[in-house]
Amino acid sequence: MEIMHSDRKKKKECLPRYLASGANYVSLTVAGDSGGLVASAIHYIAGERKFITETMADSCILVASYDDLDRARREGKLAVGFHFQGCNPMHGGLAEEPGDTNLVQLYYDLGIKQALLAHNRRNISADGCHEDSDAGLSTFGQKLVKEMSRVGMILDCTHTGERSTMEAMEIYDQPVIFSHSNPKAIFDHPRNITDTQIKACAATGGVVGACGWGPIVNANNDASPEAVMKHIEYLVDLVGPDHVGIGLDYVYQPELTTQRMQRQPEYYAPTKDMKSFGYDVPLMAFMPPEDLPKLTELMVRRGYPDEAISGILGSNFRRVAKQVWK
């Protein structure tokens, strides 16, 4: 998953790395709660659509439906979708009437195939994982979840507060994902999720993607395949391999994440807590796509069946997409 950034020259260099590492699909962040106005979101999406369909046409396919995943595989290309990290652009203050959800269908048609309800902090829909109050879904958030289900947009509960995720999973009547979250039982961090959340996600038929972002892997900012494998093992033992995936959360310019956190710390967590959450390190570690074969080797060594490995590497997320996307 790529962090939103306008440097498409760097992105052009990075996307082929996923393909070379065996990936079939990647989802790019195109908007979120920070600066989440409708006009800016649509403007950025338009630029990304042009970038994928023109500049990257030789190696990438912009996903419009599930069939495009198969087409990309046949043609040896990387399937690319978009997502929001926080649903503020779904409202944006420009709705016809307070609380309408008319923008969801538009965004889906533009390529937004999944969306996080919140990104760490509270927004108009839900509480993020760094809110102490854990207040749950707003009235608009409840309507939004129902509309996402109707439209076929995957509900992603990553970065969202526990109560909000539990309420959302009750409302959304299809499989839910945590695209890049780790179990708190392995590393107790606000960005990680409880056994209760993991089991609830599995009960929907959904998938938890073990994340390769150092600050939520362990206290040492270690994003090695061996460190990420500990989270995968725990998830498999808890809910079975059919509900486990990989969500690297990789960014092609890691230094930009640190710089953005320094410029806008309140967007990520209470400022006083940045150090305790591991958000103040000079350069945050990310497991790169080139480490996916190493992660596969670790699963083989542990005796995971081929079918389980295939599922964790992507087939489980594909199953959710096939069921949810319309």
The enclosing domain of 64 has a CATH number of: 3.20.20.140
- DSSP code string of 126-195: --BTT-SS-----HHHHHHHHHHHHHTPEEE-TTB-HHHHHHHHHH--S--EETT--BTTTS--TTSB-H
Average pLDDT, integer, range 188-199: 98
Percentage of residues of the chain with pLDDT beyond 70? 92
pLDDT at 260: 74
Q: What angle do CA 170, 243, 24 make, to 5 degrees?
A: 115
Quickly state the pLDDT bin for 98 (edges 50, 70, 90): low
pLDDT at 138: 95
When divided into structural domains, the chain yields a total of 1
CA distance 248 to 219: 18
pLDDT at 92: 59
**How would you classify residue 99: left for phi > 0, otherwise alpha for psi between -120 and 50, otherwise beta?**
left
Token pair recorded at residue 284: 């945050």
Q: Is the pLDDT of residue 16 over 80?
A: yes
CA distance 16 to 307: 26
Instruction: Look at the chain and count its residues.
Output: 326
Q: Is the pLDDT of residue 198 over 80?
A: yes
Percentage of residues of the chain with pLDDT beyond 90? 77
Q: Is 302 helix (H, G, I), strand (E, B) or coil?
A: coil
Which domain, by its residues, includes 184? Answer: 8-324
pLDDT at 117: 96
Average pLDDT, integer, range 157-179: 98
| Maximum mean pLDDT: which of 6-15, 116-125, 170-179, 242-251 | 170-179
pLDDT at 252: 67
Long-range contacts of 99-103 (CB under 8 A, 24+ apart): 99/139, 99/140, 99/143, 101/140, 101/143, 101/144, 101/147, 103/38
For residue 1, being part of any structural domain is answered with no
pLDDT at 275: 73
Question: What is the separation of C-alpha 219 from the centre of its chain, rounded to a whole number of angstroms?
Answer: 22
pLDDT at 36: 60
User: In terms of Cα–Cα distance, which of 40, 55, 76, 41 is closest to 7?
Assistant: 55
For residue 2, being part of any structural domain is answered with no
Average pLDDT, integer, range 60-85: 97
What integer best gives the mean pLDDT of the chain? 91
Residues paired with 178 in a beta bridge: 208
For residue 211, being part of any structural domain is answered with yes
pLDDT at 91: 83
pLDDT at 132: 87
pLDDT at 75: 98
The kind and range of the H/E element at 227 are helix 225-239
Number of H helices, E strands in the chain: 13, 8
Quickly state the pLDDT bin for 5 (edges 50, 70, 90): low
| Cα dist from 122 to 90, 232, 258, whole Å | 15, 29, 21
pLDDT at 6: 58
Quickly state the pLDDT bin for 263 (edges 50, 70, 90): confident
Average pLDDT, integer, range 152-174: 98
Average pLDDT, integer, range 91-111: 79
For residue 105, being part of any structural domain is answered with yes
pLDDT at 281: 74
CA dihedral 117, 123, 125, 130 (to 10 degrees): 60
Q: Are 138 and 125 in contact (CB under 8 A)?
A: yes
The single residue listed with the structure tokens 């102490």 is 132
For residue 3, being part of any structural domain is answered with no
Q: Look at 111-120, 237-246, 269-278 and tell me which has the smallest mean pLDDT.
A: 269-278
